[in-house]
Chain A
Amino acid sequence: MLASTISNEWAYVGITWGATAAVIGGYAVMVLRRGRRLSRQVPEDQRRWM
């Protein structure tokens, strides 16, 4: 009973941390890729970041 409760808790913990990492990681990759693609379309003098 106790073992079942503990493993059940860890499943929710795992889903939370896993989903957070996956969503943020996926979003970051999407933004970085879009940035690379758009950078090729814009003249060099308009993408000099500080």
Chain B
Amino acid sequence: MPNTPLAATTDVAVAPVSTSSRGTRILGALTLVSATVTILYSFWFSKADVELGNTVRILYVHVPTVSIAYLCMLANAVFSGIYLWKRTAFSDLMASATGEIGVLLLGLTILAGMMWGRPTWGTYWEWGDPRLTSTLLLFLMYLGYVTVRNIPAPRSARNTRSAIIGIVSALLIYPVRMSTEWWGSLHQGRTISAPGASKIQGAQEFALYSGFFTFMFLAAWLVIHRFRVGWLADQAEAGQLESVIAERRAESAGDLGLGKVH
């Protein structure tokens, strides 16, 4: 049987025209399954709390988003440190991706907290509260991180500046976490990692832990895609630069008559 060009090319894997891969599709499916379980437990199996009423369902978003936001920010600090040490594109792009997802999740945490505060405390926001104010400061610092990454600048300078901001911002995570114990706060203390038994149990506890897994899978899925977008953007920029240099060289050669055949 003749070896046709079609037969010869079927064995070659074609690179996708997207940031998807088998791994991200599996992770995406896992996220959807976990999200379905979380929604079922948050709205169906978990009943209204004796003290908090239906507002307890806000906590199934609020607590997991802040925990995963902290994780993303810590990862951002680690990759920023690796970047300053090794200067690799991988560490810079991972820092960028985790920083962006972290600020997104922290923004949602603040929004959920405000929605919980209004029916529970009678106010959306309390400026004198250390937990609320320090969380807002943390959010603004990471917003600054994302802004610095988007300001046009030489790549090396941009990466170094953002890495330093990432590391400095991460120093605020522990004081924010401990603010309710150090300074006292309108905000309640730790619910599930407090010394002694957990304050929640049964379907409520399951809904909360399911939320952790959902947002963890989701954050991992988003970080991988965001990393690949950053990688593609760098490659596209390098490709454009190369083609501009090649054009200029061709123009110079043409001006000097080097391209003519005599």
Cα A50 to Cα B20 in complex, Å, equals: 10
Cα A23 to Cα B110 in complex, Å, equals: 13
Min Cβ gap B29→A in Å is: 14
Number of interface residues of B (CB under 8 A): 39
Residues of chain A within 8 A of B112, CB atoms compared: 16, 20
Residues of chain A within 8 A of B61, CB atoms compared: 16-17, 20
Cα A49 to Cα B29 in complex, Å, equals: 18
Find residues 6-48 in chain A having any chain B CB closer than 8 Å to their own CB: 6, 8-10, 12-13, 15-17, 19-20, 23-24, 27-28, 31-32, 34-36, 38-48
Interface majority SS on B: helix, strand, loop or mixed?
A: helix
A20 in contact with B17 (CB, 8 Å): no
Interface majority SS on A: helix, strand, loop or mixed?
A: helix
Cα A36 to Cα B61 in complex, Å, equals: 30
Cα A34 to Cα B97 in complex, Å, equals: 14
Residues of chain B within 8 A of A35, CB atoms compared: 18-20, 225, 228-229, 232
A13 in contact with B104 (CB, 8 Å): no
Known: A42-B239, A45-B15. A32 touches B104 (CB 8 A): no
Interface string of B112-139 (1 = CB under 8 A from A): 1001101100000000000000000000
Nearest to B219 among chain A residues (CB) is A24
Question: In the complex, given contacts A9-B119, A16-B115, A24-B218, what are 11 additional A-B residue pairs having Cβ atoms less than 8 angstroms apart?
Answer: A6-B53, A16-B58, A20-B111, A27-B104, A28-B222, A31-B19, A31-B229, A32-B19, A39-B232, A41-B232, A47-B15
